[in-house]
Structure 1
Amino acid sequence: MSTTTAPLTDVRRAGAGHALVEPSDLPALKHSIAGEPTPSTATETIDVFNPSTGEKIAAVPAGTTEDVDAAVAAALSASPGWASTTPKERSLALLRIADRVEQNAEALARLESFDTGKPLSVSRDDVAQAVDTFRFMAGALRTTTSAAADEFVADHLSVIHREPLGVVGVVTPWNYPLLMAAWKIAPILGAGNTLVLKPSEITPLSTLKFAELVADLLPAGALNVVTGTGPVVGQRLSTHPDIALVALTGSVASGRAVAASAADSLKRVHLELGGKAPVVVFADADLAAAASSLRAAGYWNSGQECGAGCRVLVHASVAEEFTRLLVAEVESFAVGEPGAGDDVEIGPLVSKGHYEKVVGYLDRAREAGIGAAVGGGATGGPGWFIAPTVLVDVPVGAECAREEIFGPVVTVETFTEEDEAVRRANEVVYGLAASVWTRDAARSHDVARRLDFGTVWVNCHLVLASEVPWGGFKGSGYGRDLSVYALEDFSRTKHVMHNRTR
């Protein structure tokens, strides 16, 4: 496969005078505590930038320990009342939240794209999935089950209760601000808890707007949002004595920090961390279908996706043909600002720091002699755009195939034996997601079972549903989002035994 050394990607611009959002669409740039916009106890702020242009668009409070304490106090005050509601009452509240989000779907999608740079098609999908998450949890929380009440000791009746934990601290990432907030808020509230949420300081706007939109649908203090940095706000959530569990979606480094901070108080931790999803393509696979699937699965949200199919392991006998098909798919992408048309598929990376990180990976790959069949670097111009890239002839153990780049970059390696493919797929520290491509049904079952990942797709990739769990193994953390398993993660089990002798 021939390679290039410079991307040839044009970035489509929205043009002067095109406003993705109006000033009135922005949320109050304050914390949300007890259902009200609340100023910080400090005057420091954090700038928020438009990734498409690099321009500052807002500034949010750099939250303090005192701000977190106030939010936790509000959540703690609301906790007994919310915990005592019936499943039906909590279900109806989640359904009202879903309706409110759906009513404001376009405004939320535009705000999300403005803040993150993602194409409108991605943001609209995020909002639709957020709505579905609340509606699913609204139904699921009314059907939770425990072990049947029974006598396991003569004349003693055992009853198993599922109880709320109390106050939950939440830290959400910058790549899916609204959707990842929904993945946490819905089951946490559904299980009867209250919460304090810290959105990423890079992309806080849609979460603040969400809190504004639903404030009248929940008891004051049930949902609180405090903006700020991980070392201050996140650290306080992890160590606060009145928080029962901390849930984080983020990097492995962030997960380690939260788990270490939570250890002193022995509070529970729920971690959904990074990934480096292998895509194992056997010689008998439908190569065109695999390449077409990776067009979305490898590059959705500009590859800023922890389950992205970013590491291809393809059988050597079909590697050239598969790479040709994949490159053709990638070359057809429309790259641009979210306001430049509904057909834009690839936007900028979320921040200057992340852009520089991804460029660094590409530079080091090139210095190591790894070629790019398409893309391979930045596009130039304002904003933080990286050309959609396919790195080919990647040697075993290369940095770009081991570490999470988290950009529009897919690497292609080859293998010759099935056992080799499984072993190499499992060698990374992550264990979030993987896929297997083959027409052999027996192989698909066997290989899927041998892959050490929380989700394994067969002849598809990055297909999600609210009914099935999402979470990883190894360095990708523990705990499950979505499905009834999330409700279980955000509740606790109590055994009550009654002596019924007379």
Structure 2
Amino acid sequence: MTTNHTAFFIGGEWRAPASSKRIDLVDASTQLPLGSIPEATPSDIDRAVEAARQAFDHSGWATTTPAVRAAAMHRFADALQARAADLATTVSRQNGMPINLAEAFEGGFAIGMLRYYADLAARREIEETRPSQLGRETIVRRNPIGVCAAIVPWNYPVVLAISKIAPALAAGCTLVVKPSPNTALDSYLLAEAALEAGLPPGVINWVPGDRTVGGYLVCHPGIDKVAFTGSTAAGREVSRVCAEMLRPVSLELGGKSAAIVLDDADLDTIMPNLQFITMMNQGQTCVACSRVLAPRSRYKQVVDAVATMAASQTVGPALERTTQIGPMATAEHRERVEGFIARGRLEGRLVAGGGRPAGLDRGWFVQPTVFADVDNTATIAREEIFGPVLAVIPYNDEDDAVRIANDSIYGLGGTVFSADVERAKHVARRVRTGTVGINGYPLAIGSPFGGIKASGQGREFGPEAMSAYEYLTSMYVGA
């Protein structure tokens, strides 16, 4: 069954595209057609930005009470809840995300995030009174920043869209969302939910397109803030443009995170959580710990355990309930991952995987792959592979483990595994990264998420994300 769309969601209605250009989408597990959608041009972006501007200036969304916005956001969440199964299935078919993970993240987590920001908006004080030395008082007021561009990648398309949409709506902003052309069918479900929820026309607009269109949106004079998730290389260009325009920008970029296995860790106990943080969404995850740091005193034991874990993963079509590792999102991406595997054969010792799984002739599958005897200077230890490829790196002691973990241009995620939680916390505090897990990585909606160094700037999740969609005004009250 294929799904073909003929319009964009702009200004609260379905509008015909400015050109006849189309995007064809393909099932990552079967290579069969999924459908097609129109491809946005700069003219479509202009219309979407104008609709968002009209909504910000004239719909009352930016000036209404937080309680009214919160109620609308809860209606939006209700409408998404009714579509949760379709959202999960659509994402799984597009990018190969195993259906169990898609239901938990693209369904449950994304909807929970929308409700979190609705509740946060309802209880957030817009104005705060502070004492003033020269006058009687100062009123500090939170204001919505304006029209926001949200540029969303293909690996977690719903979660990463809602991570921008939810705090922006809560703050009173309006948005133009540009989803990845590889995963744009889910955006139509989001648009249908927004329409059903009765969000004012133009508050959210969806215009899928390629990088050129994304670049046009970033540069558009009608945009007040950019929120971007994607590669570090693309993020640098977005940052450069925004810096020249003095435009606020949030960047959630790449990672090469380390999982530090301390010498007291019980491997049988930690292995399920280690598997999740290293291989979730077949490694197509920015926080994936693709470097596993193991103590030399237990190096062979850790290598054997990680290799066994990888080899035991069930690789298969994304919609099968038993699947733990689905396909890569595109043929081009599989070629890229396989190029890193070829490099890894020169830089380390292959102990698991390394090829394509038998019996899966259709779909872009790669075996979960593990390399041992890898130095942290190796390419496969430095560059973000974005696939199910792990490098197990030895370390001498805790100081050496921390040094290796921090020896990266990235700083997005990480985990520390130990039988002693306090010891793990002590090590985690020394790792220079935006997020770090203890004996797992239980991502939390209410806590700030983001990176340092080449992993980006700004934070998503938590009240910190909502603050990024606001500007402050100080009103000095005289005597």
Of stretches 408-417 and 148-157 in structure 1, the one that deviates more from structure 2 is 148-157
Q: How many residues align?
A: 473
1:312 has 2:292 as partner: yes
- Equivalent residue for 1:19? none
Query: Alpha-carbon deviation of 1:115?
Result: 1.3
What are the superposed Cα offsets for residues 443-468 of structure 1, whole Å, 9 maximum, x if unpaired?
A: 4333222211001112223x112111
1:329 has 2:301 as partner: no
| Structure 1 CA distance for aligned equivalents of residues 6 and 29 of structure 2 | 21
One of 421, 442, 451 as aligned partner of 2:431: 451
| Structure 2 CA distance for aligned equivalents of residues 113 and 353 of structure 1 | 18
- Equivalent residue for 2:120? 140
Superposition pairs of residues 31-46 of structure 1, within 5 angstroms: 31-46=8-23
One of 44, 49, 52 as aligned partner of 1:72: 49
Which residue identity is paired with 2:68? Answer: E
Identity %: 37
- Equivalent residue for 1:59? 36
Which residue identity is paired with 2:21? Answer: E
Q: TM-score if structure 1 supplies the norm length?
A: 0.91
Q: Which has the higher contact order (CA 8 A, sep 6+)?
A: 1
Q: What is the SS of the residue equivalent to 2:476?
A: strand
1:372 has 2:353 as partner: no
What 5-or-longer segments of structure 1 have no aligned partner? Answer: 1-21
Query: Alpha-carbon deviation of 1:308?
Result: 1.1
- Equivalent residue for 1:476? 455
Residue 346 to residue 442, structure 1, CA distance change in 2 (3 Å) = closer
Query: Alpha-carbon deviation of 1:441?
Result: 5.0
1:238 has 2:208 as partner: no
Query: Alpha-carbon deviation of 1:36?
Result: 1.8
One of 168, 172, 181 as aligned partner of 1:201: 181
- The answer as to whether partners of 1:180 and 1:249 remain within 8 angstroms in 2 is yes
Which residue identity is paired with 2:35? Answer: A
Which residue identity is paired with 1:187? Answer: P
| Structure 2 CA distance for aligned equivalents of residues 435 and 96 of structure 1 | 36
| Structure 1 CA distance for aligned equivalents of residues 73 and 193 of structure 2 | 13
What 5-or-longer segments of structure 2 have no aligned partner? Answer: none
Of stretches 87-96 and 444-453 in structure 1, the one that deviates more from structure 2 is 444-453
Which residue identity is paired with 1:293? Answer: N
Which residue identity is paired with 1:480? Answer: R
- The answer as to whether partners of 1:105 and 1:127 remain within 8 angstroms in 2 is yes
What are the superposed Cα offsets for residues 278-335 of structure 1, whole Å, 9 maximum, x if unpaired?
A: 0111111222233221221111111100111211111111121122222222222211
Superposition pairs of residues 36-435 of structure 1, within 5 angstroms: 36-80=13-57, 81-125=60-104, 126-145=106-125, 148-217=128-197, 218-231=199-212, 233-339=213-319, 341-368=320-347, 370-379=348-357, 381-435=361-415
Q: What is the SS of the residue equivalent to 1:82?
A: coil
- The answer as to whether partners of 1:467 and 1:482 remain within 8 angstroms in 2 is yes
- The answer as to whether partners of 2:4 and 2:36 remain within 8 angstroms in 1 is no
Query: Alpha-carbon deviation of 1:53?
Result: 2.3
| Structure 2 CA distance for aligned equivalents of residues 147 and 75 of structure 1 | 25
Q: TM-score if structure 2 supplies the norm length?
A: 0.95
Query: Alpha-carbon deviation of 1:371?
Result: 2.2
- The answer as to whether partners of 1:27 and 1:205 remain within 8 angstroms in 2 is no
- The answer as to whether partners of 1:234 and 1:258 remain within 8 angstroms in 2 is no
Of stretches 60-69 and 73-82 in structure 1, the one that deviates more from structure 2 is 60-69
Which residue identity is paired with 1:431? Answer: G
- Equivalent residue for 1:9? none
Of stretches 35-44 and 236-245 in structure 1, the one that deviates more from structure 2 is 35-44
Query: Alpha-carbon deviation of 1:27?
Result: 6.7
